[in-house]
Amino acid sequence: MLKVNFFMSRDFVRLLEEGKIEETDKRKDEVEEKQRERRKQMAKRGEDHIPRFFRKSLDAAGREVWLFNGTYWKIRENPGFANVANMELW
């Protein structure tokens, strides 16, 4: 049996699994618009966005890549996602 995790519970993932393509696209667009608005507000306050689960690095060829930073599992352990701010935005 699969454990339900954050990504499986996302509204638009559930809608997609149910074959509701138009509703999926609408929900995804809503989330992305909220993310853009949050970034604008942060920029106005002079705050930088810091990715929660990834960090930027350089690969062997000197190209910029994103690497998983391990925080997903730490957040999931204690206390889980219940106390995480902006859950619907990521």
pLDDT digits (tens, 9 = 90+) for 35-73: 899 889 999 999 998 888 899 999 999 999 999 998 888
Average pLDDT of every residue of the chain = 80
Question: What whole-number distance in Å separates Cα of residue 68 and Cα of residue 40?
Answer: 25
Question: In the numeric block, which tokens belong to residue 15?
Answer: 């809608």
Q: Which pLDDT does position 2 carry in this prediction? A: 40
pLDDT at position 80, please?
Answer: 65
In 9-89 the beta strands, taken as DSSP E runs, fall at 54-58, 64-68
| Contact indicator for 16, 26 with CB cutoff of 8 Å | no
Residue 3 has pLDDT above 70, yes or no: no
Average pLDDT of 26-42?
A: 88
User: What are the domain boundaries of the chain?
Assistant: 1-49, 52-80
- Whose tokens are 């809503």? That residue is 30
pLDDT at 89: 53
Residues of the chain above pLDDT 70, percent: 74
pLDDT above 70 (res 90): no
* 90 Cβ contact partners less than 8 Å away, ≥ 6 residues apart: 35, 52, 53
